[in-house]
Amino acid sequence: MLFTGDPSKLLEKRIILMRLYRSINLDWFARKVQRQIYRKHHCDISRKAQIGHGFSVGHAVSIVIGGEAVIGDNVIIFQNVTLGGPHKDRTGMPTIGNNVIIYSGAVAVGDITIGDNVMIGANAVVTKDVPADTVVVGHNRFVQKSSMR
């Protein structure tokens, strides 16, 4: 059976299935999988979001990914993460680079770009562009990874 075992792996399989249906213009099936993700995992992941290969979920609970969000390859997201646009105008969503880790409770909103090899700490709020090889803590506080050694 395809959908058994770890809830996080199950969510990842459903996201791959949703992406597959969308790529072959079966939007009705993609919408059905999107609703299933919402009901089973309490995650609001838009079928229109562009999610790269190797996408991984640490805990499949309360993840929100907006419709225009772009997520690179090998990205890991933990629970209660929001990637979306400002509520008022709903334009501009985050673009996440490759090899990014986003920890619990982090929020990235607006038309921002998060570079490759970035680590976003728990409960961080990101509203500005983040350069590559950076750790984000708190509200828009960036620390270069090279200075941490």
DSSP strand E in 74-149: where? 76-77, 82-84, 95-96, 101-102, 107-109, 113-114, 119-120, 125-126, 134-137, 141-144
C-beta of residue 71 within 8 angstroms of C-beta of residue 96: yes
Residue 59 is among the residues annotated as catalytic for this protein: yes
Catalytic residue of the set 41, 42, 53, 59: 59
What's the gap between Cα 146 and its chain centre?
25
Active site residues: 59
